């Protein structure tokens, strides 16, 4: 599907630059409202949540106005993790859910993400209808049909209880000391409450948002302070979320960072031991080759999707599986949540630690990560689209794969947000991988330069 505004995860950009402006967001709310009223032919309600960046106030008001103008009621949640908005949209009977967030980006950026009534990413067909409506004049419903807005005061408490209910009945975390990095984002209240109420000793860090410090040198994109605090405090585990709470990375008791691939391995292995895996596991084309090898040794089926939790979700559903994720920390446990949730995924991992009696380091020890090198090569849109059919580039890829001889992988992936192609090579030896990645990136750059002449 070709869209003008929607990317793989909603609409995102720099605040104040089109389309992330008050004017466009007002129109966007109106467009969604008209699509919903036409599809449902009845009065409906939309749930809106946001993260902690300062521009959330502006876009919350604009969306509320646009939806009300279309005759749609609005339920405002305030600062809430993205997965919490998905859950509450479904549990409160919303026709759709909206999250105002730019995820792991800095406060300068913001974005709009949508969920369906079922708490899942909005189908492409509805996104297309919204874009069609954006090209129409802004309209108002009759005065007696305008929408109303109200705030849900107990939204945080509802999601705290939901998260606690995703672990096995009777699970307690007494005896676990946890460092919790909330990225000064949407989990800053809910995260500490969930783990503390289950009995853990919680050391929260980066949990005082001021509208400008979201993701600033903290959270899953900057986990160094979390890892350091684990060592300094003698904690058992570190947990780091991103700004909107749908990603999670962890640290073991030594301060060693544990990424999404390793978390996925530990969860899948525990489920397989308990006969609860229900099929295989979905990763992405960027998942480490060591994860694939570890699953092969355990005879756990593994499939790769395109990069993006949306595509992992789609493949899980098509296969009838429940567990998947990305190295970046998007972990999907579809038998526990309708979308990826950092809190739920971390709880699942702590449940495994508590029930097995093993340290996190022991649970991931059998997955050996291969060295992985990625180089961004600037390319034009035309050159990027022609990669698959270019013989010179494909020959360079094949030659690289021959050198790896089945003990590694090569991926050329056009970025969805930047004019670059990401050249990724992984294998057993760091020096060889670095050399092969540089050589392949140079071949691609030479091809791009020749094509520009």
Instruction: Give the whole-angstrom CA distance, residue 111 versus residue 58.
Output: 12
Of the candidates 233, 243, 252, 246, the one whose C-alpha atom is nearest the C-alpha of residue 211 is 243
Instruction: Give the whole-angstrom CA distance, residue 99 versus residue 414.
Output: 26
Residue 124 tokens, joined: 């492409």
Residues making up the chain, counted from first to last: 453
**Residues that are catalytic:** 103
Q: How does DSSP assign 57-125, residue by residue? A: HHHHHHHHHHHHHTT-EEEEEEE--HHHHHHHHHHTT-SEEEEE--TTS-TTEEEEEEEETTSSBPPHH
Burial of 42 (0-12, 13-18, 19+ CB in 10 A): exposed
How far is it between the farthest Cα atoms of the chain?
Answer: 71
| CA distances in angstroms from 14 to 108, 122, 359, listed in the order given | 6, 22, 42
Instruction: Give the whole-angstrom CA distance, residue 228 versus residue 235.
Output: 10
Residue 55 tokens, joined: 């521009």
- For the chain, give percent helix, strand, coil, nearest 5: 40, 20, 40
| CA distances in angstroms from 281 to 166, 278, 313, listed in the order given | 20, 9, 11
Residue 26 tokens, joined: 């007002």
Cβ atoms of residues 184 and 78 within 8 Å: no
């Amino acid at each position: 599907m070709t869209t003008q505004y929607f990317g793989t995860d909603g609409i995102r950009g720099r605040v104040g630059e089109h389309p992330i402006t008050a004017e466009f967001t007002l129109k966007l709310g109106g467009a969604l409202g008209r699509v919903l009223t036409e599809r449902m032919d009845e009065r409906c309600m939309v749930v809106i949540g946001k993260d902690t960046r300062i521009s959330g106030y502006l876009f919350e008001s604009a969306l509320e106005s646009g939806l009300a103008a279309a005759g749609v009621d609005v339920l405002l949640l305030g600062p809430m993790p993205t997965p919490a908005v998905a859950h509450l949209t479904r549990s409160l009977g919303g026709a759709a859910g909206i999250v105002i967030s730019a995820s792991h980006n800095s406060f300068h950026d913001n974005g709009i993400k949508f969920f369906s009534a079922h708490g899942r990413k909005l189908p492409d067909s509805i996104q297309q209808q919204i874009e069609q409506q954006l090209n129409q004049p802004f309209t108002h419903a009759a005065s007696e049909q305008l929408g109303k807005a109200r705030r849900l005061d107990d939204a945080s408490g509802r999601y705290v209880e939901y998260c606690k209910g995703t672990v096995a009945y009777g699970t307690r975390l007494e005896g676990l000391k946890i460092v919790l990095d909330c990225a000064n984002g949407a989990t800053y209240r809910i995260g500490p409450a969930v783990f503390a109420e289950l009995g853990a000793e919680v050391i929260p860090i980066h949990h005082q948002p001021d509208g400008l410090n979201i993701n600033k040198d903290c959270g899953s994109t900057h986990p160094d302070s979390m890892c350091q605090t684990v060592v300094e405090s003698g904690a058992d585990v570190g947990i780091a979320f991103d700004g909107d709470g749908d990603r999670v990375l962890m640290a073991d008791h030594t301060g060693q960072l544990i990424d999404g691939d390793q978390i996925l391995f530990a969860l899948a292995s525990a489920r397989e031991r308990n006969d609860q895996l229900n099929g295989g596991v979905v990763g992405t084309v960027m998942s480490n080759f060591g994860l694939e090898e570890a699953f092969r040794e355990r005879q756990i089926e593994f499939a790769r999707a395109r990069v993006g939790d949306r595509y992992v979700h789609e493949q899980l559903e098509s296969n009838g599986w429940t567990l998947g994720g990305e190295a970046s920390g998007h972990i999907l446990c579809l038998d526990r949540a309708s979308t990826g949730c950092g809190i739920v995924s971390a709880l699942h991992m702590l449940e495994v630690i508590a029930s097995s009696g093993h340290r996190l380091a022991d649970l991931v020890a059998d997955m050996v990560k291969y060295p992985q090198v990625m180089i961004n090569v600037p390319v034009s849109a035309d050159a990027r689209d022609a990669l698959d059919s270019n013989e010179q580039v494909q020959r360079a890829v094949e030659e690289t794969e021959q050198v790896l001889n089945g003990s590694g992988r090569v991926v050329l992936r056009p970025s969805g947000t930047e004019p670059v192609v990401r050249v990724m090579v992984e294998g057993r030896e760091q020096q060889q991988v670095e050399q092969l990645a540089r050589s392949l990136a140079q071949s691609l750059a030479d091809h791009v330069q020749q094509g520009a002449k």
